[in-house]
Amino acid sequence: MNLKEKVEQALDSMRPFLEADGGNVAIEEITDDNIVKLRLIGACASCSMSIMTFKAGLEQAIKKAVPEITAVEAINLTDFSDPNATMPSGRW
């Protein structure tokens, strides 16, 4: 199994929880230095709990299942403590 398949398998363990809330995650890239870049999609991209989901769920699942991964980054994660952040319209 190659590196991307291992990461996908780790993400598959988390997807039912994401999908239950209308979201999901996709691998955008795995760099040459084994950094996984993820894109949160659906409800996960705009959820106020996305930072927790990412850190406590996705990042930990990947690092546990695929120890050769050096870091996990979300390319579209909004830090709601950032004064320049904007809340998505709709659910709020």
Nearest one of 84, 33, 21 to 57, comparing CA atoms: 21
Domain ranges within the chain, ordered by starting residue: 3-74
79: left (phi over 0), alpha (psi -120 to 50) or beta: beta
Please say whether the beta carbons of 53 and 75 come within 8 A.
no
CATH superfamily placement of domain 3-74: Fe-S cluster assembly (FSCA) (3.30.300.130)
Q: What residues form DSSP beta bridges with 73?
A: 37
Q: What residues form DSSP beta bridges with 74?
A: 38
Instruction: Identify the pLDDT of residue 29.
Output: 95
| Total residue count of the chain as it appears in this document | 92
Nearest one of 30, 44, 43, 41 to 73, comparing CA atoms: 30
pLDDT tens figures, 65-81: 999 999 999 888 755 55
Please, which pLDDT band fits residue 11 given cuts at 50, 70 and 90?
A: very high
pLDDT tens figures, 42-66: 887 777 778 888 888 899 999 999 9
Stated pTM of the model:
0.79
The tokens describing 69, both together, are 């991964």
